[in-house]
Amino acid sequence: MTPGPDLQQLISTIKTDAGSDDELEQLATAAVTISELTTTSDAALGFFVDRARGAGKSWVEISAVLGVTKQAAHKRFADSWTSRPAFERYTQRARAVVQAAADIARERNHDFVGTEHLLLGMYNQPEGIAAKVLVKHGITNESVLQAVDVQSPAAEPSDKPKTLDGDNPPYTRRAAHVLQGAVGEAVTLGHNYVGTEHLLLAFYRDQAGIATKILLEQGLEESAAWTDIRAALEGFTK
């Protein structure tokens, strides 16, 4: 196991970042640093808990590995599977993808928004990193739509039109998990925003989601998505 920084290394880093011998300034820097480390470590642990849940592992198995009770593990990590997503940190493009997903669900006469709708919604923002990565790997709107038609066919129109509340649409459990998981992906990358690229990476947290199955079937492995997204972000930085 690769060792993390020891206490002395951490103290030295904080003193250097503070750039001052003043005790209060060093304390303030320490508080910010520890807060960021805590947030990042929680996000990292949550990432692997998500992967375990997505692979079908039970809360009993997960809690045993973590050395806590089932109730404690569930209380700490279950929110990403049950809570409604918060969009405060979403970019305009990421929000547009989410809105497009609701529109697509409505067009397909679905009264829910699933991961398949989120995946199709990414093509609404062709200049977004996610759409560019998908197209680069030959995963087009048409190929995804064909796959979605097989796994989640459009419903027949009924006499009573289906409506989706634009401000509070009924996301499936897996779709809500992706929307929450995108925040964790942003934290993992050290970003203070959630973009389309984070949504794309969040699909891989749950291998049983329709969107994830389609991505894997059409040849986009998680490692390749990570590589392309990092390259795209480095290009923006340059």
How far apart are alpha carbons 216 and 229 in whole angstroms? Answer: 17
Shared domain check, 100 and 211: yes
CB 228 within 8 A of CB 236: no
Which pLDDT score is estimated for 170?
87
Q: Domain boundary residue among 77, 109, 142?
A: 77
Which pLDDT score is estimated for 137?
97
Q: What angle do CA 191, 193, 84 make, to 5 degrees?
A: 120
Element (H, E) at 132: helix 129-136
Inside any domain, residue 84: no
Shared domain check, 168 and 64: no
Shared domain check, 212 and 149: yes
Inside any domain, residue 170: yes
Shared domain check, 164 and 63: no
Which pLDDT score is estimated for 61?
86
* Domain harbouring 173, CATH code: 1.10.1780.10
CB 117 within 8 A of CB 110: yes
Inside any domain, residue 10: no
3-state secondary structure 11-77: HHHHHHHHCCCCHHHHHHHHHHHHHHHHHHHHHHHHHHHHHHHHCCCCHHHHHHHHCCCHHHHHHHH
The range of the structural domain enclosing residue 145 comes to 92-237
How far apart are alpha carbons 90 and 196 in whole angstroms? Answer: 9
Shared domain check, 96 and 71: no
Shared domain check, 223 and 111: yes
What pTM does this model have? 0.68
Shared domain check, 168 and 109: yes
| pLDDT by 10s per residue, the chain, length 238 | 676 678 888 888 898 998 988 888 889 898 888 877 776 677 677 778 777 776 777 778 888 888 888 777 766 766 554 455 568 889 999 999 999 999 999 999 999 999 999 999 999 999 999 999 999 999 999 999 999 999 999 988 764 445 555 556 689 989 988 998 898 888 888 898 999 999 999 999 888 899 999 999 999 999 999 999 999 998 766 5
Residue 229 CB coordination number (10 Å): 22
Which pLDDT score is estimated for 81?
46
Shared domain check, 149 and 35: no
The total number of structural domains that make up the chain: 2
